[in-house]
Structure formats: structure tokens, C-alpha cells
Structure 1
């Protein structure tokens, strides 16, 4: 009977570093055993468990020969290089992919759209380039996607993430253009689009019926009037700093249970509303605006 492998690294480590050859033969399907041995060989046959932290080379195509794999993790392995192999597209049982903190290059592969069971995709902290493939919108079971800390360019596709993806991380790339209007139709928990070159109006992303909790749109070029934006009661963290946002701070912000707030380096004016958590933040949360005033800034 085939085993269900939940983590490629854990499985390889257990199989190759702990189990004896005879015991491994009893517990591991012959086809899985062959694939694992091929993967081991591609990484120069490491023997000791500790040596796996120094894996080097490319992710081998043999990974695709583990058809029951559910979790694929290559993380914090700085010597892993090359592109993401297309063989991963064969792993249709995958629910979690984490290829992060490596030196992977090339594009974000469109073939991830074939992995319909995927609920978590993390390709962060790499050197991936090119645009975000619109095919990713076909991953309707995603709960989180991390494409942050890469070198991605171009605009965010209009119809990407057309389901409710609670957590979306696109920060620290080179993305341009506006946020697609389709994002305003759905609910999220965390949105981090910071440190890009995005522009336009963000007001459609908010509303009393939304459920977003953490929002970071800092260090972009967003430009819109903040005065009449309605924020959801769920919001606990808001970072609009380093943009071109104008208008005044809505009084409704005093009703929110903020744990973090930063609207510095914009073009805001008027008196900071009194009440709630707004005065619990220091002046740096409001500094370098056009004409904001009132505690914790100087009086109007």
C-alpha cells in the first residue's frame, strides 16, 4: 500500500537518515523509494541528518515522481538555485507548497493552476521575476498566497484571486499600476502590498461589510481622498504610510480597536480625531503630512 507523504523533506530525512535499508523497504512503496533515492542522489547523497541544512543545487525533477505527496517544503536553503521544476505539476494531491528563502529564479510558474487542491502557496524570499500569472486565479481553494520579497513586475491581473483568499502577500516587489477592481468584491484577513510601485484609488477595498484585519499598502504611490472612506470594524492594523493620500482622517477611526496605525508621509490635512486608540500612537504615526494637527501632533 502506498504511504501518504506529508512533507518531502521530512519523508526523505526519516527514510534516508533514520530507517535501516531493510525497514525502509517494508515501510516505503517501491516507487516512492526509487524517487526518494533519486532526490538524495541529486543532492550529492547526504548521509547525516544535519547535512540537509546545506543542500545545494536545483530542485530535482524526481520530486514529481511522488504522486501522493501532500506537502512540499524547501525553506531557508540558500544554496537551492535554478527555476521551479515543471515536474511539480504532476503532484495533484499537494495542499501546501512552500519554496521560500532560497535562491530560486525564473518566473512564477503558471502550472501551479493545475494543483486544484492547493490551499497554501509560499514562494516568498526568492529571486523570481516576470509577472504574476493570471492562471493562479483558478486556485479556488487557496487560503494564503505569499509572493512577497521577489522581483516581480507588471500589473496585478484584473481577475486574479476571484475567490476569497484570506491572506495575500505581494510586498517588496516591483509591481505597478492600480489594484484591480475585482479585489473589492471579496473579503480578506491580511493584505500586504507594501513596497511596490502601485498607484490609484484604494477606497473600494474597504466598507462596513468587509472582514479585513491587517492592511499594509505602505511605500507605494496610491492617491485618493481618505475623508469619506468607511473602514470595517474588524480592522486592527492599517499602514498607509509613504503614499500620496489626501483629505482628512475619518472620525469613524476612533471606533476601531487599532493595534497598529501609520498614515505618515502623505498629504493629509485637518485635526486628528480625538478618541479611541488614535492618541495612543506617537507622532511618527502621523508625521510628514501636509497639514495634520492635534494630539499627538502639535495643536491646530
Structure 2
């Protein structure tokens, strides 16, 4: 998720760490302003306002260029550096980035090794991968290549590139990777509820989980899972009324940080995802779906009798 959502959602609780959206590295050394724009938390010791560390994520395919950019990023004192080998987007894969690299375990090793050598020894380097391209026959080889190169942790999205984001996620396919390497593995993919998280842990053998769209659709999910782990289970950690102040804060931050033309779409995008967990989000989305005037959107969202605010 981007910095605005990180700022809002980490206020709820239950999140131990965030990873930034990927920072694309091609054939140049990026200036500091690029890292700071995408990861403004670097200006506050690499953490959100509530103290949750944020690990910037780099995406690219050239070991030398990635290493040089990782070294520059390391000078900004991040909480760690993550490497993206999981993005299935065609525009990324076409240029040899993201999940496309899972066909070349040796290249994965060279990339991680170069980045590991380029940054301070005490700075964690982690990597995110999928199970493979069309199938998972190279999954263990890829995991070993990343770890042998110096990755201290792997996040594994339990689908191949070809499977994209289509349900289901194959959590059980993570278990062989966990048995093949000696670093922590974090399971990821299709975790929308506490029940999903419990099943994912059981099938993957992983204790740690990475939440993506599930935490955006249900901002209370990380806290609900934390309460479950503390033997304080509940149906929901955050209802629609409790979400209202956070929606207000989100709208305020969007207004401060984003270009005028993108603000309305950003709120609509979040509401669209929130519909999965909160039926009230459908009503809010319908009210503003065709509205472009920002003042009117604010009125309809936060002043309409149909959208009561929590005190």
C-alpha cells in the first residue's frame, strides 16, 4: 500500500511491519527525492507516525543497478530493503522484472548477492517471490537462490505468475520452501478473514503472514488477527462507525499529498475495496461514484445524514 494508506491503517493496530509499493529500478541511479516521495517515512526514522517500520521495496533485473540504488537507499536509514520477484503485471514482466525473474534462479542469486554486498551488514535484506511462472517446479530452487544470496527472510505469494490474483491461493505449496531454507518465510495471498489466516498458517506451516488487499478491504483485519492470537477473538475489530475518522483522515491526507486530478479516484478506489467487508461502503461509493467536484464529495461523504460519523 502507499504511504497515505500506511499512515492511516497502521493507526488501528496489529501491523508489525509495512512494505512500500515497489520502486522501479532500470538503468539509472535514482535521486533521493524518488525514495522520499514513495517512502516519506524515511524522514522519520523509517517508521509511520505510530512507529511501525516500513521496508522500501526495489524492483528491477540488473544486479549492478539494483545494488547501486540499494546503497543509496541504505544511506537514508530505512528499516530494511525488500526485493520484488513477485509482481505478475505484464508491463513489469515484459521488461524482465518481478515474477519474470523466477525462471532464472541464478539471476535471482546474483541480484540478492549484489544488493547484500552493497548495503551495511546490519541492514535486513528480504525478498518477495511467487511459486513460479506457469508452475511451481522451480520454487524451491528460487527460494534457495534468494537465501544463498543473502536474503534474511522470504515472503511467498502462494500463486504462480500465470494464476495472477485468481482464487484460490495454494498455501500448502509454501511448506516445501519452508522446509528447504533456514530463514523465516512469510505466507501471503488470499487472506481476507481471520479464518483464512488460521487456515493459511495450518497449510503453509508459517506463523507470519503478509496481508495485501485483505487489509485494505478490512482495515480491522490485522488487529482482529492480533486479538485472536491473544485469545481475545471477535467478529470484527473495526466496524463502519469506527472507520469514519480514518476515512476522514485519509481524505485529508489525499488532499495534502496528491495531485488534484487523482484525489477523487483515490477515495473511490478504497471505497470499492471496502465494499467486500463493509456493506455501508457500497452506499458511500454509490453516492460519490459519478461526482468529480472535491467539495461535493466531501459533503456527501462526511456531512450527509446517510453517512453518520462516529463521535
In terms of Rg, which structure is larger? 1
Q: TM-score, normalised by structure 2?
A: 0.29
**TM-score for the superposition, normalised by structure 1:** 0.30
The structure with more helix, counted as a fraction of residues? 2
Flag the structure with more relative contact order, 1 or 2, with Cα contacts below 8 A and sequence separation at least 6: 2
